[in-house]
Amino acid sequence: MNLSEVSAPVAGTTVGEELHELVADLYPICTSITGDGLREMLRRIGTHVPLQVHEIPSGTQVFDWTIPREWNIRDAYVKDGLGNRVIDFGASNLHVVGYSTPIKTRMPLAELKEHLATIPEHPDWIPYRTSYYREAWGFCLSHDSLLGLEDGEYEVCIDTTLEDGHLSYGEYFLPGERDDEVLISTHVCHPSLANDNLSGVAVATLLARTLAEQPRRLSYRFLFLPGTIGSIAWLSQNQAGVSRIKHGLVLTCVGDSGNPTYKRSRRGNAEIDRAVEHVLAHSGGDYEVIDFSPYGYDERQYCSPGFDLPVGCFMRTPWGRYPEYHTSGDDLDFVRPEALADSLEKVLAALSVVKNDATYVNLNPYCEPQLGRRGLYRSTGGRKDESERELALLWVLNLSDSKHSLLDIAERSDLEFDVVRAAADTLLDHDLLEEVAG
Amino acid sequence: MNLSEVSAPVAGTTVGEELHELVADLYPICTSITGDGLREMLRRIGTHVPLQVHEIPSGTQVFDWTIPREWNIRDAYVKDGLGNRVIDFGASNLHVVGYSTPIKTRMPLAELKEHLATIPEHPDWIPYRTSYYREAWGFCLSHDSLLGLEDGEYEVCIDTTLEDGHLSYGEYFLPGERDDEVLISTHVCHPSLANDNLSGVAVATLLARTLAEQPRRLSYRFLFLPGTIGSIAWLSQNQAGVSRIKHGLVLTCVGDSGNPTYKRSRRGNAEIDRAVEHVLAHSGGDYEVIDFSPYGYDERQYCSPGFDLPVGCFMRTPWGRYPEYHTSGDDLDFVRPEALADSLEKVLAALSVVKNDATYVNLNPYCEPQLGRRGLYRSTGGRKDESERELALLWVLNLSDSKHSLLDIAERSDLEFDVVRAAADTLLDHDLLEEVAG
Amino acid sequence: MNLSEVSAPVAGTTVGEELHELVADLYPICTSITGDGLREMLRRIGTHVPLQVHEIPSGTQVFDWTIPREWNIRDAYVKDGLGNRVIDFGASNLHVVGYSTPIKTRMPLAELKEHLATIPEHPDWIPYRTSYYREAWGFCLSHDSLLGLEDGEYEVCIDTTLEDGHLSYGEYFLPGERDDEVLISTHVCHPSLANDNLSGVAVATLLARTLAEQPRRLSYRFLFLPGTIGSIAWLSQNQAGVSRIKHGLVLTCVGDSGNPTYKRSRRGNAEIDRAVEHVLAHSGGDYEVIDFSPYGYDERQYCSPGFDLPVGCFMRTPWGRYPEYHTSGDDLDFVRPEALADSLEKVLAALSVVKNDATYVNLNPYCEPQLGRRGLYRSTGGRKDESERELALLWVLNLSDSKHSLLDIAERSDLEFDVVRAAADTLLDHDLLEEVAG
């Protein structure tokens, strides 16, 4: 599968441009792990795919965690003695520490500074900070701005509410011929950070729309969740059904200009791990594959030992490895249409491998069948050239002993999966193979 | 085992020279996958080893294949307007496409050209082509000759017959103490190609003659077959007995000046695979070991999934990787006496490993036995030098726990198999080992 | 565990100095595999740890071997025609071939030379030689001295006795909470060779004293044995109990200035193998790990196939790889206080890993537990820095599925064992882990 199969974008734009426009559309929303910003985020995604939005009440126990109170923000600022807003939430969502408690008071600069975060190494970037599970308030600003603050009294206002409400998340289920599910999970809780993770949201959205328009052998489940608490909540409320998840990917940081990076599932050799690696290895470009570690995004929860689901993480430059990470530097210029499109294409290709893999038994296992008689083989012997197609036929025949899947064969033969799959289809057409019930 | 054990050549010639003379003797024969040329090939091999020649009637079903009609050729030529033979079968067997149907007619050059094959990159070489399973006729010629043909009418004559008859192959069985068999298979269907595969025929012939003169623990079966259809026919007619084949080698392209190449069996770690690799690794020379692929010579059939026999392929430069492959450039100068002799020596050495491997149990497993008391160990302690022989005794004692064969021990200790074998013999002489029935 | 936990040395000296002083104290003793020199060696070790000395009578059968007669030496010399001692046992224990039979006679230089050993490449060193199991006599001397001997008659005297007596060895057992034992074995039979093996004796002695002063989960058994025959005798007389040995190290050549070298047990992946490798890999210094071979010191016996105990060998430069090996060049200057101390520290660290390893099950296996609520996790999200401590908590939680030990987790996470152990302790304190009975 490739981009030509992606759900057709609006006339005159490329897939990459459409993805970037979606990122740009979501960029202004002040989303968080709960609240109306998050609801707005899900509503806009819902204009592209028919998302089902779930609401879980504050206080609900989800495994070891509790759904927190809902956070909403109307305004926030710091005013100097002249009444000028020296820090203004209206200018950037990142200026307020996420989940800041409400405050309205006056204080001298020295006291205020204890609540200010900057990045001295990148003095013009605003950092992104949250304090979900410890009550606190704070502002983030550029280091340059901090240096410009003069001694004196400041008026501090954070007009937020932190009250019982709900945690919201979006779910989109695409049934297929089989109950076996592919899980695609992406976090939607970061405001105004383009790569982390509006890029993941955009790619997941177009992926969902594309798969919705195709016949489906497998079922697909898309989760647009607040990070950590969202996946914990979903797993807690859907524990009985997780055994249907046969393959999964967390999508995050998929729009920067770095090479693709794949982080394996905890199992390390799950079919999704092998499929993504196969696609990357045959892509012709540089890439990196890294082992699972229990640090990162929601794969931490899917790969916790009680679940140990075959869920890997597809990224470009991994979180924390680029300086713009969790700063205002992660803006709309930082994500690139061609990188977004490439991520979507590679994820589609990996899901195509997973979908089309199967195991067969050669019905003519004693010596090779006479392919030439069936028009499947060149008729003139003695020539040096051999086509990849013929080689794939021979590999599939040789290894189809009910112990090797097509992906196994592709790996051992170093042929592309699609070539191996096509060879199997040809042999099936000639009654030379039979699928092994898996 | 080494060349000093090879069946003594005619006085005054080296083993390499004798092998090369055998190649030269077979070179003029116009052999094919059936017919009198093939019979003549087998007859001449039979002057060196008492070959049993089998004949399978045309039309016989052998698995998915059918024994084809028998092909014989008396003459073939293309004459120009002056009656000159511009292409003459008498000049080279390669001029006629193998299995060409009979024809006698006249045609203009343009029409004739559709039946002519050349190699533009090597304009003085004649290519080798066949059309066994699709009725067709054609000539092969040097590209220079093609360029010299002038427009006009040509007389075309291919005086062949394609009639019900037989497929012939030669078999030579050397019984040993055990029913366990070593299979040596080589194809005999290529006319006037020295490396592919008169080299294989010559090495197999001298190998057979050498083993015939030695006591044999294992049995050996030599097959001189037309490629593909020959091995398929043999497997089809001997299916019940193939389980006796414990080790096997296909011999092909063993005379060129390239380094030895070993292509593993489908199993990849069969004892023959490990034995050949051990011999090559300890040879002191460069070599290559490549994984099995279902493309090549008759190992394709022996390693088809229904059989999956432990049969590898010993070569020098693999088929298709040298420009002379399947051209008149693969002539008597292309194969070298010393390369032929080296191939024979290495195959003998690998078969010696296979023959002499065994698994033992140390009868004194608690601590080392006192080797010095038995005269097996230096009597003066404190000296730095330790002989390889003593080291081998200690390795065999340490690993002979019924789970490690001598080849396992040689691999782990990085000692040569012969040194390990000698150590085991010494320990057997002193009642310190007992063979494990395998 | 590190050197700060080592049994406190005498005030004003470092651990390395104390180790070197112990080597120096033992250096003059003319020890052998039996006899009063060996008894004196054990007596002096016994002044540091309460050694139990065992005596096995000559003639006792120990597996395939027999305890030899006891050897004692009073004097030995070669006198020239003027009565000058040109070789004098009083000057160096190495001058007499160990286990030399008594002799008192006169002979010409030519005849005497058959009994003289030198090292021509190092003309000022005296070699070390023994002849335990073949009756012989001889002298060792520097090659320079040999060249200085003039023709003529010499008086030869070796005043030794070789009579029924005993083989002595020392044992020190430190019981722990569990019967599972750690075996530390070191050979004490080499006279006046500092690195091989007074270094091993010194490190084993301080190791024993250190462990004696600590609470012990495991039991520890220290063996101070004559090489080969000593370990064979001990194994023969303690065969029933060897299954209690869960980990073991042979200590030898641990004082030279080379890098640490670890030779794996025959099993290759025993826990002690992995523990030592882990310590070396995280030490920050160069080191070498080599595979087991059945040549070396007493690991040969512990790793004989009937026992196959998990016993490796800790060294610095392996025996035979330094020119001073088994010569008078292996003197008190050749071993270095800091090398001795480093060896002790690394062995202590490896034993600490072995002692503290355990396997747990995460009691909250579905998703991560909320560490922040327990004060175990930073409260402000969005920051790039992550502490190794938090990472270790996550790794332990993720892999504690009853199938991974803490050492497994340390290896997979590339974290130091102590960090992983500390994380497990923290999680145990919060009732998040439970030990799996092993």
- Residue B223 has what pLDDT? 98
Q: Which two tokens stand for residue C159?
A: 């005043």
Average predicted confidence (pLDDT) for chain A: 95
Give per-residue pLDDT as tens, A347-406: 999 999 999 999 999 999 999 999 999 999 875 555 444 589 999 999 999 999 999 999
Quickly tell me which residue has 């800790």 as its tokens: C314
Distance of CA B374 to the CA centre of its chain: 45
Q: Which of A271-275, C131-135, C190-194, C305-309 has the lowest mean pLDDT?
A: C131-135
Tokens of C35: 């006899």
**Nearest to C132, CA basis, from C94, C161, C93, C99:** C99
Residues in chain B: 438
B-contacting chains (≥3 CB pairs under 8 Å): A, C
Average pLDDT, chain C: 95
Q: Would the pLDDT of B109 be above 50? A: yes
Q: Quick one: pLDDT at residue B31?
A: 97
Tokens encoding C291: 């595979």
Query: Could you tell me which residues come within 8 angstroms of residue C139 by beta carbon, excluding any fewer than 6 positions away?
Result: C76, C78, C87, C95, C96, C97, C115, C116, C117
Say if residue B384's pLDDT is above 50. Answer: no
H-only helix segments in A136-260: 143-148, 199-212, 229-237
CB contact burial B397-410 (16+ within 10 A = b; e otherwise): bbbbbbebbbbbbb
pLDDT at C171 over 70: yes
The whole-number pLDDT of residue B382 equals: 53
Q: Classify C404 as helix, strand or coil.
A: strand
* B95: DSSP letter: G
Q: Which tens digits make up the pLDDT trace of B7-56?
A: 655 666 799 999 999 999 999 999 999 999 999 999 999 999 999 999 99
Q: Rounded to whole angstroms, what are the CA distances from A263 to A312, B136, B233, B321?
A: 6, 56, 50, 39
Residues B301-310 have a mean pLDDT of: 98
- pLDDT averaged over chain B? 95
Mean of the pLDDT values across residues C343-354? Answer: 98
Which residue in this structure is represented by tokens 């010095």? Answer: B372
Q: Do B380 and C98 touch (CB under 8 A)?
A: no
Contacts of C290 in chain B (CB under 8 A): none
Q: What is the pLDDT of residue A378?
A: 72
**C300 contacts B386? CB cut-off 8 A:** no
- Residue C43, classed as helix, strand or coil, is helix
Quick check: C2 pLDDT over 70? no
**pLDDT tens column, C19-57:** 999 999 999 999 999 999 999 999 999 999 999 999 999
Give contacts of C370 with chain A, Cβ < 8 Å. 64-65, 133
Percent of chain C exceeding pLDDT 90 equals 92
Interface contact flag, C379 A232, Cβ < 8 Å: no
- Structure token pair of residue C215: 């609470």
Give residue ranges of B with CB < 8 Å to any A CB: 62-65, 97-98, 127-134, 136, 228, 231-232, 235-236, 239, 266, 291, 293-295, 300-301, 303-308, 320, 325-326
Q: Give the pLDDT confidence score for residue B437 in this predicted structure.
A: 83
State the chains in contact with C (3 or more Cβ–Cβ pairs under 8 Å): A, B
In angstroms, the separation between the Cα of residue A403 and the nearest Cα of chain B is 11
pLDDT of B385:
47
B380 with C131: CB under 8 angstroms? yes
Q: Which of B359, B362, B363, B366 to mutate to test the interface with C (most CBs of C within 10 A)?
A: B366
- Among chain C residues, CA nearest to B394: C294
Q: Which residues of A175-186 are buried (b: 16+ CB within 10 A; e: fewer)?
A: ebeeebbbbbbb
Total length of chain A: 438
Closest-CA residue in chain C for B364? Answer: C64
Distance from the B305 Cα atom to the nearest Cα atom in chain A, whole angstroms: 5
- Is pLDDT of C396 > 60? yes
Cβ neighbours of B185 in A, within 8 Å: none
Minimal C-alpha gap between A361 and chain B (Å): 9
Helix (H, G, I), strand (E, B) or coil at A66: strand
Beta strands in C252-346 (DSSP E): 261-263, 288-290, 311-315
Per-residue pLDDT tens over the stretch A140-180: 999 999 999 999 999 999 999 999 999 999 999 999 999 99
Helix, strand, or coil (residue A277): helix
pLDDT at A384: 46
Nearest CA to A248 among A292, A209, A192, A193?
Answer: A292
Q: Determine, for residues A236 and C391 on separate chains, whether the beta-carbon distance falls below 8 Å.
A: no
Element (H, E) at C185: strand C181-187
Predicted TM-score (pTM) of the model is 0.93
Q: What is the pLDDT of residues B341-380, one digit of tens each?
A: 999 999 999 999 999 999 999 999 999 999 999 999 876 5
Mean pLDDT of B225-254: 98
pLDDT of amino acid B335: 98
- Asked whether residue C8 carries a pLDDT value surpassing 60, the answer given is no
| Cβ within 8 Å of residue A47, ≥6 positions away | none
Say yes or no to pLDDT of C1 above 70. no
Determine the residue among A361, A362, A366 to mutate to test chain B binding: the one whose Cβ has the most chain B Cβ atoms within 10 Å: A366
φ and ψ of A229, to 5 deg: -60, -30
The total number of residues written for chain C in this structure: 438
Q: Which residues of B fall within a CB distance of 8 Å from A366? A: 63, 235-236, 239, 304, 306-307
Distance CA B382, CA B49 (A): 56
Phi-psi region of C312 (alpha: psi -120 to 50; beta: other; left: phi over 0): beta
What's the pLDDT score for residue B380? 58
- Mean pLDDT over B129-133 rounds to 93
Identify the pLDDT of residue C432: 98
The chains in contact with chain A, meaning 3 or more Cβ pairs closer than 8 Å, are B, C
pLDDT at B387: 85
Q: Is the pLDDT of residue C3 over 70?
A: no
Query: Helix, strand, or coil here: C17?
Result: helix
CA-to-CA distance for C97 and B214, rounded, in angstroms? Answer: 50
Tens-digit pLDDT profile for residues B187-210 = 999 999 999 999 999 999 999 999
| Of the partner residues A98, A228, A305, the one whose CB lies closest to the CB of residue C400 | A305
CA C345 to chain A, closest CA, distance in angstroms equals 31
Whether residue B245 is predicted with pLDDT greater than 50 in this model: the reply is yes
Average pLDDT over residues B397-420: 97
Question: B255-290: per-residue pLDDT in tens?
Answer: 999 999 999 999 999 999 999 999 999 999 999 999
Split at pLDDT 50, 70, 90, the class of C384 is very low
Mean pLDDT of C144-163: 97
Question: Residue C385 — very low, low, confident or very high, per pLDDT cuts 50/70/90?
Answer: very low
CB proximity list for A229: less than 8 A, separation 6 or greater: A33, A62, A65, A67, A68, A132, A167
The ipTM value here is 0.94
Q: Which whole number is the average pLDDT over A169-194?
A: 97
